[in-house]
Amino acid sequence: MKAPKQKRADKKKSHIPFRLNLLFFIVFLLFSSLILRLAYLQIVLVDDYQAEVERTERTTITGSVPRGEIFDANLNKLVGNEARHSITYTRGKNVPARQMAKVAYDLGDYISMPHTTAFDVERSFDLSERDLKDYFIAINQEEVRERLSDEEMRLAGPESYQVMLDKISTDEVRSFEERDLVSAAVFKKMNAAYSLSTVNVKNADVTQEEIARVSENLDKFPGIDTGTDWVRHYPEGDMLSSIIGSVSTEERGVPEDSLKTYLAKGYSRNDRVGTSYLESQYETVLNGTKSKIETETNTSGDIINQIEQYSGHKGDNLVLTMDIDFQKTVEQIALDSLGEREGLSNSIYIAAMDPRNGDILAMTGKEVEDGEVKDRTYGVFFDNFNMGSSVKGATILSAYMDGVLDSSNNVIVDQPLQLKESNSISSVFNRSGAEAVNDITALEVSSNVYMSRLAMRMGGEWDYTSNMTLNIDGQKLLEKQRKYFNQFGLGVATGIDLPSESSGFAGPGTSPAEGLFYSFGQYDTYTPLQLLQYTATIANGGTRIAPRLVSEIRDTNTETGSIGALKTEIQPRILNTLDVSETAMERVQQGFYEVVNGNRGSARNYFGDTPYVSAGKTGTAQAFYWDDELKKITDEVTNLTYVGYAPHDNPEIAIVVVVPNLPVSSSQRSNRENVRASRRILDAYFKVGEFKEESSGESIETVEDLVDGAEDLAEEENTTEEDEE
């Protein structure tokens, strides 16, 4: 039996209200859960979330400390630190440029900020056009963005910023008023800071009034603080400046080419570091240990508190091997010698070393450019020259070491050599005759022929006949000669504690004749320092010692701030010892003695009256003049050199003097500063003659010495030294 239609319809309609009620009930439960959750968050967890909002973050950052100082051998300060008031800025995390620009503008009311724009001068300006545009963007970001197209707005990173810079005209920044320029100068300094790093906004000519005004209003300038900074100070002026080196500015910071290395060592990008010579070589010693500051930042990245955990430690100090008084005297001798310039000669190089331990006693290079004397001390270890006969001691000892010279065959007839593969070779003392000389006499009279014959022996050719063809492998001969010369320091790095020294220049030829000219210093080129190391090696009996400028590393006395206790004593560094007999070495030393003291010695007129006994060797080399402006060789010139040491029997000092680019013809030059300056240097070292210390009450010289010296000097003025080559 079927139910009535009306009843079935009512039954069907009853399902709709139930579903709606179920939906309403579910919605009710969801809203109830949400209300309960909000109540839980706002009532139960309110303290936790309030703490999260007020949460701060602590980060340890480092601060710079004064660099170590540099002293001479008697602890006279050569490089110090000058303390200065400073106004600093420490950049917080994620601090936008707009915020820094506002601080910069406000700070401009409290300090003066010297500035010069690129629109005012062509060079040495403080604010470039780019700096001014950076500041313009920082204070007008919305306005600049409105100038961008929709496509330009989608750019990001450097591309976006470059487009913004392009939208600013030169006239807009050129029209900045004085107040804006001051703010732009401050902003530039602040903008150089990286996140959680500190830079000096102003550290020169900061007045006490500025320090007081800023200190009283630090709450107005987030990140700004006052403190003390340092700059390098040079009590002796430019003395030794070219080997002491320089320190980078805060703006330059760490050199880009070594950035990764410095960052790995804990440096910051804007740290000041040594960029050349001693400052660079001893960077890890001079740099010190940075201070550590615990910095507290809020959730916005603003710095709200700083606590010093470690004050840092000033860099350690260097003690040099030089006596500044002796160095000053040597520099004056160099300046005096420049007064004797002739031809294209415009420079002189002088260096002195203790052959017993490698201590550099003095080092200078002077050059005249556009009528002004400039320091070129770095040229002692960087500039290369043909040195001439000064190297003949190495030639004779090379022959002994090679086994082609001994007591049974050390006499060779000096006569002009006529060879098919070479220009003729002769000695100044014997242009056309024939004279038998041994190794000692060959040094005394500076025999080019003797040295050439030794080179022939080393190449396998023992006999000589006029117009002969040399049956010698020229390349192998040069390789052999250089191998021996390297043991003296000629043609290789000397090992001095400075970066970037030159190793000299090896000629590219391979003919036997070039090996002959090599034997008397007319082929490869060397630095004055290499020539000095070679001289010291002969003076001390055959031990090649690395030259050193630093003898000690000392701490700083924390109570007085002066130089403190010894931390490290730099020991002499032996590079090699010559494999040559004591007899052979003594014969070369005797040859050097005869150059200065023998009847035929080329230096006898300059050292004959000294109260000390010295030894040495003169050199005259034909060379070519390189014109830096034209970038080519323009003239033939002559280089004069002298190497020596004293006292002869127990050397304390070895010296080298190089006077390059003199006229070729001896009739066109009277310059003898290679030996004159050498005599004065040794006199200054031993404090005799014009350098005698009158206060001592004693004199090494006797009345007879003075009378004899006057006679010798008078004779010297009337004597012209002959060329050796």
Tell which phi-psi region holds residue 636, choosing left (phi > 0), alpha (psi between -120 and 50) or beta: beta
646 φ/ψ angles, rounded to the nearest 5 degrees: -160, 155
Answer for the pair 421, 511: CB distance below 8 angstroms, yes or no.
yes
DSSP 8-state assignment for residue 390: G
Residue 526: strand pairing partners: 385
Cis status of the peptide bond prior to 647, with omega within 30 of 0 = yes
Q: Collapse the DSSP code of 463 into the 3-class scheme (helix H, G, I; strand E, B; otherwise coil) and give the result.
A: coil
Query: Where are the extended beta strands (E) located within 8-102?
Result: 57-63, 70-71, 77-90
Amino acid (one-letter) located at 151: E
d(CA 518, CA 391): 9
Instruction: Say which residue the tokens 């040079």 belong to.
Output: 234
Instruction: Say which residue the tokens 């910071």 belong to.
Output: 253
Residue 509 contacts by C-beta under 8 Å, 6 or more apart in sequence?
A: 474, 478, 523
Q: Report CA Rg, the chain.
A: 39
389 is known as an active-site residue: yes
Pairing of strands 70-71, 317-320: parallel
Instruction: Say which residue the tokens 């009158």 belong to.
Output: 694
Residue 238 contacts by C-beta under 8 Å, 6 or more apart in sequence?
A: 375
Residue 409: strand pairing partners: none
Residue in 389, 398, 446, 678 annotated catalytic: 389
DSSP 8-state assignment for residue 315: P
Instruction: Say which residue the tokens 């701060």 belong to.
Output: 56
Query: What's the Cα-to-Cα distance from 444 to each of 332, 388, 611, rounded to whole Å?
Result: 30, 14, 21
3-state secondary structure 656-725: EEEEEEECCCHHHCCCCHHHHHHHHHHHHHHCCHHHCCHHHCCCCCCHHHHHHHHHHHHHHHCCCCCCCC
Answer for the pair 673, 661: CB distance below 8 angstroms, yes or no.
no
Catalytic amino acids?
389
